[in-house]
Structure 1
Amino acid sequence: MATTRDRALTAAVRLVGEQGVRALTHARVDAEAELPRGSTSNWFRSRDALLTGVIDWIAEQERADLTAATTPAQTVDDLIDTLTALIEDATGHHAVRTRARYALFLEMTAGGEAHGPLQAQRARFEAWARELLTAFGAEDPDAAARSLLAVSAGLILNRLTVAPDAALRPTVAIAVRGCLRG
């Protein structure tokens, strides 16, 4: 059974993912999670603390998904399949969480307390991509990782907004192979 904190964070992510960052209030989270009034504020005293908690929770969930999805790729096709599956999951089963992450990125571009955790999560994904691309012989792993993440972000945004059924694998294959060639 989920703890009160986990229920609050799950509800907060759902609110942000479905209604945007402005919908995130302690009272709305309590109502969405079907918790007694004041429960969320017991865990997160201020709105900034709640925002940071949501960002950290999303990052934890995404890291767990990334770890579970990434068996060591033996071939470039394995790598393409893994990346395709991650993007499909982000735009399918976890679309609300992904929308919440994008909403938070857009809201937090001015900096503030929550900007650090967003940047840290991005750095983790970039390091993961760089490590994979290095293992497959990328000439410039840093540029390749940034490029692959940019293409992935574009595919995710495209699927979440205008083309929910867009084929992913062909584009991921072109991006991966291009990153490996330099």
Structure 2
Amino acid sequence: MADRRAQIAEAGIAILASRGVRALTHLAIDRELGLPDGSTSYYARTRRDLIAVIVDRLATRTGDDLAAQALPEALTPAVVASVIVAGLDATMRRADEHRARLILLLECRSDPELQASLATRPEVRGAFVDAIAALLVGLDVDRPQENAQDAAALLDGLLMQRVIRASPAHEEAILTAYLTGLTDGRGEPLGG
């Protein structure tokens, strides 16, 4: 059963990324997977249930993006920026998942439970923020955990920029300037 739910979620991600939220139906998933009509409804009775299956899969897979990269011994803002951009490059191998997540963030804005799973699932977001905080510790930034929250928001924006294929951003320059600001004694969190 878990296997079929994973297949349903993967098919839903593909449909969302390629055809949009209106194309996401039980029937579309049945046809995408070559299942008899009505099969998906056994695993996800309502549209909300179907979206919840996809949201759960996206949240679980996001944890895969947190794999540790080898870091050089001497960290500078430019080196950390380069490492982060390499991480963004790696995560874009699953661009369809990020596109589906953005679509669902808009679709689920009136459902706080699904919205929270997509945006801030604690086990995933916490690990992401902790990884950033470790980089900030390596840069000797004051209050690394609090600053990591702001840095995570900046990375979310850069990832969104890539996913929607807007005009190119100078990611390394942006990140280097941000990190340099944190290491130059202006390490107060923006919200603090």
TM range (shorter): 0.7 to 0.9
AA partner of residue 84 (structure 1)? V
Between the two proteins, what is the percent identity of the paired residues? 28
1:16-165 equivalence runs, <5 A: 16-67=16-67, 69-71=68-70, 74=73, 75-76=75-76, 79-90=80-91, 92-118=92-118, 119-120=120-121, 121-159=124-162, 160-163=164-167
Shift of the alpha carbon at 1:114? 0.9
| TM-score (norm: length of structure 2) | 0.76
- Structure 2: tracts of 5 or more residues without a match: 188-192
AA partner of residue 70 (structure 1)? Q
Distance 1:35 1:54 in 2: 18
What secondary structure, in the 3-state scheme, does the structure 2 residue paired with 1:94 have? helix
Do 1:151 and 1:175's aligned partners in 2 also have CA atoms closer than 8 Å? Answer: no
AA partner of residue 103 (structure 1)? I
1:74-129 superposed Cα distances (whole Å, 9 cap, x missing partner): 43455333321222234x32211111111122222233431231221444433432
Shift of the alpha carbon at 1:72? 5.4
- Structure 1: tracts of 5 or more residues without a match: none
Distance 1:178 1:83 in 2: 16
Do 2:129 and 2:148's aligned partners in 1 also have CA atoms closer than 8 Å? Answer: yes
Do 1:48 and 1:113's aligned partners in 2 also have CA atoms closer than 8 Å? Answer: no
AA partner of residue 88 (structure 2)? I
Distance 2:17 2:72 in 1: 31
For these two proteins, the number of residue pairs brought into alignment is 178
Do 1:73 and 1:79's aligned partners in 2 also have CA atoms closer than 8 Å? Answer: no
Distance 1:109 1:6 in 2: 24
Distance 1:11 1:173 in 2: 38
AA partner of residue 169 (structure 1)? E
| TM-score (norm: length of structure 1) | 0.79
Cα–Cα, structure 1 residues 154 and 3, in superposed 2: closer, same or farther, change >3 Å? same
Distance 2:114 2:72 in 1: 33
What secondary structure, in the 3-state scheme, does the structure 2 residue paired with 1:102 have? helix
AA partner of residue 79 (structure 1)? V
Cα–Cα, structure 1 residues 58 and 42, in superposed 2: closer, same or farther, change >3 Å? same
Do 1:148 and 1:179's aligned partners in 2 also have CA atoms closer than 8 Å? Answer: no
Cα–Cα, structure 1 residues 41 and 158, in superposed 2: closer, same or farther, change >3 Å? same
Runs of 4+ in 1 over 4 A off after TM superposition: none
AA partner of residue 9 (structure 1)? A
Do 1:17 and 1:100's aligned partners in 2 also have CA atoms closer than 8 Å? Answer: yes
Correspondence for 2:190:
none
Do 1:16 and 1:100's aligned partners in 2 also have CA atoms closer than 8 Å? Answer: yes
Cα–Cα, structure 1 residues 177 and 37, in superposed 2: closer, same or farther, change >3 Å? farther
